[in-house]
Amino acid sequence: MKAILVRVAIDQTSGGWNAPMDPESGRFVYVPIPESKPMRSEYERTYGEIIPELDRFCGYFGVNLEEDLAFPPALERLRMHLDPDFEHLTYGDNGDFRGSGMKEMQKDDLLVFYGGLRPIRPCGGKLVYALLGVFVVKEVVLATKVPQERRNENAHTRKVRIGKPDIVVRARPGCSGRLAQCVPIGEWRNRAYRVRRDILQTWGGLSVKDGFIQRSAVPPTFLDPERFYGWFLELQIPFVRRNN
């Protein structure tokens, strides 16, 4: 088994904002990063789609989107890079760069998604780095080989010009998806966000020094994927096959 830890979702370096989470329940809103490439008009996805879910979240927890969560109004008019797409169980990347470790993945390997969320109430830190979803790999295909009728399933095949090295990872239904509750894994340590030492030990380690997860130009791999997956399954967190 091979398992890769992939940073996703909007943050201060890509979008200038962090999506909200509730520390007590683990409930969160998945908000992707902005789209930087021209998209086919029929496939465009905008942040306007996320506003109703953010409003429901705010209403449930009694917070205000603009005043309490500092949502930037200009974001609503932008296109979003919806990747991973939990509804279609796909994840795309550049197979010659950030996704180079993914293009040779086999059936039942793992993609583990995490992001930096902003808690709506004090919980010991400004951000909560948490697991957001898990994919059990079904297959990996070249984005250029995806047929027209399936181009809407991933951000990398929604582009006007699909990159030659781009790949699309498809996940197995039933055991893959967005998590119903996020799983906090990080802490501020040694001037950076890192996986907590107790979790790092339980997982059997990562390929990065001291669990560094603040950036992921080259996504880290799990040194003991089976051990991680056993830990994850014991959490018994339901999957949802939707983006929010």
Residues 96-141: pLDDT tens digits?
Answer: 999 999 999 999 999 999 999 999 998 888 999 999 999 999 999 9
Q: Parallel, antiparallel, or unpaired for β 192-195 and 33-34?
A: unpaired
Structural domain harbouring 21: 3-240
Among 159, 176, 183, 175, which residue's Cα sits nearest to residue 235? 183
For the stretch 23-69, pLDDT in tens is 999 999 999 999 999 999 999 999 999 999 999 999 999 999 999 99
Structurally, the chain folds into a number of domains equal to 1
CA separation (Å) from 74 to 48, 83, 116, 159?
11, 21, 21, 22
pLDDT of residue 217: 78
Q: Which of 175-184, 193-202, 213-222 has the lowest mean pLDDT?
A: 213-222
Query: In sequence order, what are the beta bridge partners of 202?
Result: none
Structure tokens at 80: 């979003």
Structure tokens at 54: 């953010």
* Distance, CA of 97 to CA of 24 (rounded, Å): 37
Q: What is the pTM of this model?
A: 0.97
For the stretch 62-94, pLDDT in tens is 999 999 999 999 999 899 999 999 999 999 999
